[in-house]
């Protein structure tokens, strides 16, 4: 005798109602505040919509304009990519170096670790505000540079230095995260591996290259993927320090998204968001490929 | 009789090493120190040349000013309230769901969990505009509902709790069932207490995420009374572009809670962060 789907569902719910009850909250919340918006967002991106009039379907016109004609978007995209390359090029390196240092027999290790990690605990808005003051023409950064005879400039107002200055601030804020992760990973490397290498006559550099780095490889990959995905979404510090200026020289993708939202160009802004989504999806896919290779 | 050459070298090396560590740590902390000392300076001394390392004269005025020039007390309350509510609700939903996905069997469990994990790939900004429109529809713009409900649960939190709960031995749960304990009872009396370390980690990171959140609160609040701390600090800057002393006082107030939480719960923090990264 066949049971109808409806009956099957009814029976399942009766039997497993506890489990369904337990997951009800997240299921409802995720559907309303994640799945539905995600799909709507794509629908919006295919329209021209200024909020007051109803949306007007334009197909892929927004995307076409963004990728091929919109200089501001292209600039934002390039800026963000530079941000990712420089930020992820230096942050994890500082993190690894400091972790290697702290992995030695160090007294007050926790105190040093706290010093590196404290900026990570601080809101990007606060960090950006402090550094905006430090980068001021008459601020501490210029004073220190003058003292050692290095050139000074109006860091956040100079089109060629604005983005770099923000990147420096961001690396300062973030590398402690990598320090902590690398330190834990380093401490998990079995001592026997090093002992075996030393018996084989390996010096410190060899040990690093042939024992430490390979053991750290999964952690490094994870850190880079998280870092790249996170950095592509940079917004807070740029908004506070330069609002994307001067002349879009420090604008990021999300910053441009916000700007379009602010001017009520909802369809266009949604297209920006989906391009960002595509970029991040690409990196997530790469991560799965790379990490998959490990296992 | 002096030390051997190699012992001297070792001592020099070790001293140099510690000096490097101390110097770099100080470099990390200087901006914080500068924030603190500026908050006690007189307005005219902020960009004194050469810079004042110790404020002379020092004043507490700005810590009083900052409460009156903008509704800073309200910002603080909003941040605390929203972060607390988001944390409680995440702990509640994620522990229940983490248990269900980890220990309860039900049709569709694997598929739904997979779908949930997939949502981690979606950056928040993709949902920004539709969420804004949704809040408009619900008439939730500029209310606590908009600040709290969209973030009331998280896929990552569910994943985290599930990981912790998976390590609870099935035998404990099964024998409780055999003894006639209800599913609710099992959850409340066995699973919940055993997953407290996971709860602590989830709570810390959820709180921190909510406390430092900027883009969403900025977009979804419009009246001064509903703003949260990060938005308030950003506003302090726009309205008082040269009033650094007040801005720094405000920043200190905003940064202090997380710093204090970290100093007291360092181990929880570090362990929570590194648990996923390191294979034990």
**Three-class HEC string of A211-264:** HHHHHHHHHHHHHHHHHHHHHHCCCHHHHHHCCCCCCCCCCCHHHHHHHHHHCC
Mean pLDDT along residues A70-88: 96
pLDDT tens, B247-280? 999 999 999 998 998 888 888 788 887 776 554 4
The pLDDT confidence band at residue A117, using thresholds 50, 70 and 90, is very high
Cα end-to-end span (Å), chain B: 49
Going by the DSSP 8-state scheme, the letter that residue B59 receives in this structure is -
Q: Which of A275, A146, A45, A113 is nearest to B24 (CA)?
A: A113
Mean pLDDT along residues B171-183: 87
The pLDDT confidence band at residue A295, using thresholds 50, 70 and 90, is very low
Same-domain pairing of A74 and A39: no
Q: Domain limits at A40?
A: 5-45
Q: Are B26 and B229 in contact (CB under 8 A)?
A: no
Cβ pairs bridging A and B (under 8 Å): 252
Distance CA B150, CA A2 (A): 42
Mean pLDDT along residues A102-116: 88
Element (H, E) at B190: none
Which structure tokens are listed for B160? 């985290």
> Residue B247: its chain A contacts at CB < 8 A?
129, 133
Same-domain pairing of A111 and A246: yes
Mean pLDDT along residues A263-290: 90
Mean pLDDT along residues B203-210: 93
Alpha helical stretches, state H, chain B:
5-39, 61-69, 72-103, 109-118, 124-138, 144-148, 155-166, 170-178, 183-186, 192-194, 196-211, 215-220, 229-239, 244-264, 266-275
How close A26 gets to chain B, by Cα (Å)?
Answer: 6
Contact state of A22 with B107 under an 8 Å Cβ cutoff: no
Distance from chain centroid for Cα B203: 9
b/e for A103-135, b at 16 or more Cβ within 10 A?
A: beeeeeeeebbbbbbbbbbbbbbbbbbbbbbbb
Predicted local confidence at residue B207, as pLDDT: 94
Mean pLDDT along residues A42-50: 92
Mean pLDDT along residues A61-82: 95
The pLDDT confidence band at residue B241, using thresholds 50, 70 and 90, is low
The pLDDT confidence band at residue A1, using thresholds 50, 70 and 90, is low
Same-domain pairing of A132 and A230: yes
Same-domain pairing of A160 and A17: no
Predicted local confidence at residue B45, as pLDDT: 87
Contact state of A23 with B133 under an 8 Å Cβ cutoff: no
**Structural domain count of chain A:** 2
CATH topology classification for B70-239: MetI-like fold (1.10.3720)
For residue A101, being part of any structural domain is answered with yes
Predicted local confidence at residue B280, as pLDDT: 40
Question: Looking at the predicted structure, is the pLDDT value of residue A12 above 80?
Answer: no
Predicted local confidence at residue A294, as pLDDT: 46
Residues A193, A195, A197, CA angle at the centre, nearest 5°?
70
Q: What is the pTM for the complete model shown?
A: 0.90
Mean pLDDT along residues B45-74: 88
Predicted local confidence at residue A228, as pLDDT: 93
> Residue B149: its chain A contacts at CB < 8 A?
29, 33
Give the torsion sign (CA, A147, A150, A151, A156): negative
Question: Looking at the predicted structure, is the pLDDT value of residue A288 above 70?
Answer: yes
Question: Looking at the predicted structure, is the pLDDT value of residue B94 above 80?
Answer: yes
Mean pLDDT along residues B177-185: 85
Residues of chain A above pLDDT 90, percent: 68
Same-domain pairing of A162 and A197: yes
User: Does residue B246 or residue A15 have the better pLDDT?
Assistant: B246
Distance CA A76, CA A71 (A): 8
The pLDDT confidence band at residue A4, using thresholds 50, 70 and 90, is confident
Which structure tokens are listed for A49? 């919509």
Distance CA B61, CA B147 (A): 32
For residue A65, being part of any structural domain is answered with no
Q: Which of A146, A161, A153 is nearest to B49 (CA)?
A: A146
pLDDT tens, B117-136? 889 889 999 999 999 999 99
Which structure tokens are listed for A78? 């390039």
Which residue of A22, A102, A274 is in closest CB contact with B96?
A22
**What chain B residue is nearest to A139 in terms of C-alpha separation?**
B47
Least confident of A72-81, A281-290, B194-203: A281-290
pLDDT tens, A154-207? 999 999 999 999 999 999 999 999 999 999 999 888 888 888 888 888 788 888
Distance CA B86, CA B204 (A): 11
Element (H, E) at A209: none
Predicted local confidence at residue A259, as pLDDT: 95
What long-range pairs does A142-147 form, CB within 8 A, spacing at least 24? A143/B49, A143/B50, A143/B51
Task: Name residues whose C-beta falls within 8 Å of residue B6's C-beta, 6 or more positions apart in sequence.
Answer: none
Question: Looking at the predicted structure, is the pLDDT value of residue A83 above 80?
Answer: yes
For residue A228, being part of any structural domain is answered with yes
Cα-trace Rg, chain A: 25
How close B46 gets to chain A, by Cα (Å)?
Answer: 8
How far is CA B178 from each of CA B175, B185, B214, rounded to the nearest angstrom?
5, 13, 49
Question: Looking at the predicted structure, is the pLDDT value of residue A63 above 80?
Answer: yes
From the CB of residue A218, how many other CB atoms can be counted at a distance below 10 Å?
17
Q: Which of A79, A49, A68 is nearest to A264 (CA)?
A: A49
For residue A62, being part of any structural domain is answered with no
Which residue of B30, B129, B278 is in closest CB contact with A261?
B129
Which residue of A118, A123, A236 is in closest CB contact with B211?
A123
Residue with token string 């990519």 = A81
For residue A156, being part of any structural domain is answered with yes
Which structure tokens are listed for B180? 């006639």
Mean pLDDT along residues B22-34: 94
Around B177, how many Cα atoms within 13 Å sit in the side-chain half-sphere? 10
For residue B57, is the peptide bond before it cis, meaning its omega torsion is within 30 degrees of 0? Answer: yes
Predicted local confidence at residue A72, as pLDDT: 95
Report the mean per-residue pLDDT for chain B. 89
Q: Are A169 and A86 in contact (CB under 8 A)?
A: no
Question: Looking at the predicted structure, is the pLDDT value of residue A30 above 80?
Answer: yes
Which structure tokens are listed for A223? 């850190």
Least confident of B52-61, B182-191, B239-248, B255-264: B239-248
SS3 (DSSP) at A57: strand
Predicted local confidence at residue B151, as pLDDT: 93
Report the mean per-residue pLDDT for chain A. 90
For residue A149, being part of any structural domain is answered with yes
Contact state of B34 with A130 under an 8 Å Cβ cutoff: yes
Domain edges within chain B: 5-59, 70-239
Question: Looking at the predicted structure, is the pLDDT value of residue B145 above 50?
Answer: yes
Predicted local confidence at residue B276, as pLDDT: 62
User: Does residue A14 or residue B97 have the better pLDDT?
Assistant: B97
């Amino acid at each position: 005798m066949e049971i109808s789907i409806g009956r099957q569902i009814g029976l399942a719910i009766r039997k497993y109602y506890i489990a369904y009850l337990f997951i009800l909250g997240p299921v409802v919340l995720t559907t309303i505040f994640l799945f539905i918006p995600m799909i709507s967002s794509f629908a919006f991106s295919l329209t021209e919509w200024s909020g007051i009039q109803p949306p007007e379907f334009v197909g892929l016109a927004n995307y076409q304009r963004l990728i091929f004609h919109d200089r501001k978007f292209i600039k934002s995209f390039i800026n963000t990519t530079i941000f990712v390359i420089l930020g992820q090029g230096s942050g994890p390196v500082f993190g690894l170096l400091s972790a290697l240092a702290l992995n030695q027999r160090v007294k007050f290790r926790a105190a040093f670790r706290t010093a590196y990690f404290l900026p990570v605990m601080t809101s990007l808005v606060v960090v950006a505000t402090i550094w905006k003051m430090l980068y001021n023409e008459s601020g501490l950064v210029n004073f220190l540079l003058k003292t050692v005879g290095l050139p000074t400039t109006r860091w956040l107002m100079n089109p060629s230095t604005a983005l770099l200055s923000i990147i420096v601030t961001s690396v300062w804020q973030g590398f402690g995260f990598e320090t902590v992760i690398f330190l834990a990973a380093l401490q998990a490397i079995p001592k026997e591996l090093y002992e075996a290498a030393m018996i084989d006559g390996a010096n410190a550099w060899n040990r690093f290259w042939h024992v430490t780095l390979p053991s750290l490889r999964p952690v490094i990959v994870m850190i880079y993927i998280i870092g790249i995905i996170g950095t592509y979404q940079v917004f807070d510090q740029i908004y506070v320090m330069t609002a994307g200026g001067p002349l879009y020289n420090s604008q990021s993708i999300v910053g441009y998204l916000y700007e379009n939202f602010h001017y009520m160009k909802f369809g266009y802004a949604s297209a920006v968001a989906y391009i960002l989504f595509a970029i991040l999806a690409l990196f997530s896919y790469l991560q799965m490929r790379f990490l998959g290779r490990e296992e | 009789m002096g030390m051997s050459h190699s012992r001297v070298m070792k001592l020099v090396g070790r001293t140099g090493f510690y000096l490097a560590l101390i110097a770099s740590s100080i470099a990390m902390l200087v901006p914080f120190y500068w924030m603190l000392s500026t908050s006690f300076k007189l307005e005219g001394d902020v960009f004194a040349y050469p810079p004042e390392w110790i404020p002379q004269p020092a004043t507490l005025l700005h810590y009083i000013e900052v409460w009156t020039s903008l509704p800073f007390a309200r910002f603080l309350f909003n941040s605390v309230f929203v972060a607390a509510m988001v944390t409680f609700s995440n702990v509640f939903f994620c522990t229940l769901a983490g248990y269900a996905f980890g220990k309860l069997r039900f049709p569709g469990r694997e598929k739904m969990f997979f779908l949930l994990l997939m949502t981690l790939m979606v950056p928040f900004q993709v949902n920004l505009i539709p969420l804004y429109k949704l809040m408009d529809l619900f008439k939730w713009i500029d209310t606590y509902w908009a600040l709290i409900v969209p973030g009331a649960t998280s896929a990552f939190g569910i994943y985290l709790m599930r990981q912790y709960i998976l390590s609870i031995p099935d035998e404990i749960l099964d024998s409780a069932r055999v003894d006639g304990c209800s599913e609710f009872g099992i959850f409340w009396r066995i699973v919940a207490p055993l997953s407290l370390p996971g709860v602590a980690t989830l709570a810390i990171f959820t709180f921190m995420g909510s406390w430092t959140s900027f883009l969403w609160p900025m977009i979804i609040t419009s009246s001064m009374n509903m703003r949260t701390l990060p938005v308030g600090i950003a506003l302090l800057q726009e309205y008082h572009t040269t009033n650094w002393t007040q801005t720094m006082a405000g920043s200190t107030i905003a940064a202090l809670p997380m710093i204090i939480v970290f100093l007291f719960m360092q181990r929880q923090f570090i362990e929570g962060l590194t648990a996923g990264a390191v294979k034990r």
